[in-house]
Amino acid sequence: MSTNHLPLILEPDELERQLGTGNIIIVDLCKHQTYAEKHIPGAIHLEYAQLIRAEMPTMGLLPDTTHLSELFSDIGLSPEQHVVAYDDEGGGKACRLLWTLEVCGHKQYSLLNGGIHAWGNEGHPLSEDISAAKASHYKVEHINDEALASRDYILEHLKDASVALLDARTAEEYRGEVELARRGGHIPGAVNMEWTQAMDQQRNLRLRSDVELRSMLEQRGITSDKTVVVYCQTHHRSAHTFIALKAIGYEKIKGYPGSWSDWGNQEDTPIELA
């Protein structure tokens, strides 16, 4: 299988066959200590904090194109390369990178299904050798709004039946019992599916099957004909939800950077409890 045809959700067996061949860049978003002890041979480490911007109290914002251009250049990315991302938490950090690539117009990317857990637990090769990136000159020209939802966009579409809001936080955060912003609760009309529900704990944190995921979503009224806006506290957890939806064929998906740390820290945004 050439890199032109790598699937969005890439299995460890297939990635091992691709090691050292083709135009792939493997990006590790594990904790730094985990990377130092074990990682996929040739993987470049990326600190998650470099992917996000903060304007306190709002976290998880999208950096500007200058920062993203420098970041992608630092890891040695070129426009024709296929990015394979993984982490040690089930895919949240890796998916935030993939969502960022999507909004930057870089469409060639895959999530390693199960991340380092699946890779290591299933006997694939691990390395302690630190891979130094060869800097490139990557330029992010513009941001693709199709995969991006702003606070204003959501406010404009609160009563739009063709737009569905999916909250990937815990049930306690959704109900307002746990407050991580000035106000607790959720965006009016949003339904809750905590992000780890999309993971199969029995299969090294891989995504659940297409049938399972689609059933879970459709039970909540999240159907593929709608534009689905996903959010959590900072668009970390919901980036995983974004990729899960994309993996099962949903085409109109938007991530809300800042998420509840943006919405819940405003004085006048409408909220729901319970």
Residues known to be catalytic: 232
Q: DSSP label at 155? A: H
Counting every residue, how long is the chain? 274
As a whole number of angstroms, the distance between CA 174 and CA 260 comes to: 10
The rounded distance, in Å, linking the Cα atoms of 26 and 75 is: 10
For residues 145 and 233, is the Cβ–Cβ distance under 8 A? no
Strand locations in the chain (E): 9-10, 24-28, 44-45, 53-55, 58-61, 82-86, 109-112, 163-167, 191-192, 199-200, 206-207, 227-231, 253-255
Considering only CA atoms, which of 62, 133, 61, 74 is closest in space to residue 101? 62
Task: Please list the residues that pair with 24 across neighbouring strands.
Answer: 82
Helix segments in the chain, DSSP class H: 12-18, 32-37, 65-74, 92-103, 115-121, 151-156, 171-175, 210-219, 237-247, 259-263
- Say which residues have a Cβ less than 8 Å from residue 172's Cβ, sequence separation at least 6: 178
Confirm if 26 and 126 have CB atoms less than 8 A apart: no
